[in-house]
Amino acid sequence: MSAALRLSGVCKRFGGIVVADEIELELERGQILGLIGPNGAGKTSLFNIVSGVVAADAGDIRIGGESVAGRTVHERARMGIVRTWQNMRLFHSMTVLENMVLAPREYAGESLVRLWFRPATVARADADACERALAILGRMGLAHLAGHGVVDLPYGQQKLIGLARALMNDGPCLLLDEPMAGVEGQAYETMKAVVREEAAAGRAVCVVEHNISFIKDLCTSAVFMSAGRILERGAIAELLASKTLAELYFGA
């Protein structure tokens, strides 16, 4: 079976700034890969390139063996790649449940024609999505928040809702952009447990995170990026022991 996500020779530069330089990366189902490196290393840019927000200059990206060349952001999401955002980007005028119902790969209510001629199909799809959303919230212990407006929630819970919304997409690839930034206590533990469960269920997860203990707890392997290049890759323990990385990362 082909890798859930494979990047080969991916390059991107903005003027003189190189954010991706010949990136080679492979993500298997069930794997949790940590993506670490100093600010400006190109970690989030890599997510943007993969999800199609930013077009790569060169290289090949495949989701489950299928090339994403020429595919737009929404088409890639439908191919099964879903991401979270550092600052969540929740739909602020909506409730938790509404945020989530919009996020499955297929959203029946998106077509006016179907809404008109097959209202029952749309209603059923909405009901199914609600049910799935409540199941995901239930796993996080947040089912009671379904009807709350997202802006009323504390930051840590908003982060969790960002993850919960992404999980509505049942695709093979999950990209998490700094899921732990600003998250502590119960939310921290929940986040960790849910990400682990998702990987165990066969999802390929890639995490950008500055919280090294989270990476250590969760990831089996990691890659270290700096200035748009992957400098090292391997088991998390070895990587963290590397002296050159410590210098680059902490400026020590």
Partner 1 sequence: MEYVYSILILVGIYIVLASSFNLIIGTAGLVSIAHPIFFALGAYTAGVLAIHLHLDPFSATAAGAAVAGAFSLMISLPSLRVSGDYLLITSIGFQLGLLQVIKNLELTGSQGGLNNIPTPVAGPERGWIFSAIALAAAAAAVLLIRRIVRGSYGRAIRAMRDDELAFVALGRNAKHIKIVIFAVGCALAGVAGAIYAFYFQYVSPEQFEILASGTMLTMVVVGGMGSTWGPVVGAVLLLALPQAITFLRLPLAYMAPLQGMIFTLLVILFLFLRPQGLVAPEPPAPLSPPAR
Q: Which positions touch partner 1 (CB under 8 A)?
A: 51, 53, 72-75, 77-78, 82-83, 85, 89-95, 97-99, 101-110, 112, 115-116, 122, 126-127, 130-131, 133-134, 146-147, 165, 168-169
What spatial distance separates the first Cα and last Cα of the chain, rounded to whole Å? Answer: 42
Q: From CA 159, how far away is CA 6, in angstroms rounded?
A: 27
Alpha helix (H) ranges present in 52-206? Answer: 73-79, 96-101, 112-117, 119-140, 155-167, 185-200
Write down the least CB distance from residue 231 to partner 1, Å: 28
Write down the least CB distance from residue 150 to partner 1, Å: 10
Closer of 100 and 215 to partner 1 (Cβ): 100
Write down the least CB distance from residue 246 to partner 1, Å: 34
Write down the least CB distance from residue 240 to partner 1, Å: 31
Axis crossing angle, helix 155-167 with helix 119-140, rounded to the nearest 10? 130
Write down the least CB distance from residue 58 to partner 1, Å: 23
246: number of Cβ within 10 Å: 12
Degrees to nearest 5, angle at CA 187 with 98 and 220 = 105
Closer of 167 and 199 to partner 1 (Cβ): 167
Which residues, 6+ apart, have CB-to-CB distance to 88 below 8 Å? 158, 159, 161, 162
Q: From CA 200, how far away is CA 30, in angstroms rounded?
A: 6
Closer of 146 and 240 to partner 1 (Cβ): 146
Closer of 99 and 226 to partner 1 (Cβ): 99
Closer of 103 and 222 to partner 1 (Cβ): 103
